[in-house]
Structure 1
């Protein structure tokens, strides 16, 4: 019988954390993991608004001056992860797996694909079909809309940084940048995709109703989940999906 590996889950996503503070905590946990002082750990955050530049990030990917963003109280940070420029903020689940990738028998590409699959599995629980492994566009997509960004760092076989899943953030925050260096693609969220699905269902019901002489589609939606409630559910579902994909048994910190 295969024994699943233990995973400490540090869930700090119930409240907002400044990105710089979260980065310090992540770095501290990564040092302890590399030294064998602790086991594999998954850290979950929900950040105050911040724009981060990865190794391929370029100043020209900002559509607004960085000083203007900082004057508005938004952090701008350069970080040692892969990827370009992205945004983190309220309503977005940020997950940092600090795990022994090499010990798990995974290469860098297979690990990134496992992260994509974890998000895809999570979204499927809500009836949203997503995909990864898009050439030249790491992350998770719903049709041609990006719903999750991935940028990782692996040193001495230990991973840090990770992924950001748009659950119910203010998507206008992405208007200030070229997200992930891709200028011609839309950014979406789980909340928005659920709204789109309800609208399609209402339209279909309206067509059926008008054709049969029955009631129209007004008020005939499936109902929705509030933003805060949705976020809390997604946190739990993502942890389950992540552990299922990478063979972990979650344990609260």
Structure 2
């Protein structure tokens, strides 16, 4: 067994607690190894404000990050600064830091509940559409909340966030998030009422021409309550009836269910 001389780095006091060890669960380890083997870029994000417990997000999964104390101290060592120039003639290693804890990752439920509070009072109104700028213009411009902000601040992976936006019926228009309040225009459209599997192009054009509902809105709403395939919309009857029923009952509740505008 080779031997090396140990010495402390001159910057050891500055490097104290600078290094962190991250323990990878098998699934995440396999994901990273596959990215290395296939030379595919892999993007990992750590999210959380100063008062939050941090999470690590892959493209489609969220992991809680927690600190676990180690029973033994782990030393972080490096070769001397001039080791490479001396062709490793110097057998000493430099102690850069001492690690007494490890960061553990465990699968976590995405924290999507904050969406309802963030978007409360931002229900979409057809009258807010500005034809010239094609932007949503809420009464209070300071209440804008963009998709990029949600990606940065909501503790969820990109795929989980997109799924949450769809389930909560939140529109993404020009990068801005708004709750959608009405299905009545869609359900009462004459073309829709006489076609079981209406053409997406014809139905969205009809809604835009007759009711000034932007295609970006109607297409998203149709995707919430059905599937779009080969240019046609296949409605999921049960999901649509359920949402209409909730909208009717919501008017008789003392406390409204957060997350949706009234139908």
- TM-score over 0.5 for the pair: no
TM-score scaled by structure 2? 0.21
The structure number with the bigger radius of gyration is 2
Select the structure with the greater relative contact order (CA < 8 A; seq sep ≥ 6). Answer: 1
TM-score scaled by structure 1? 0.21
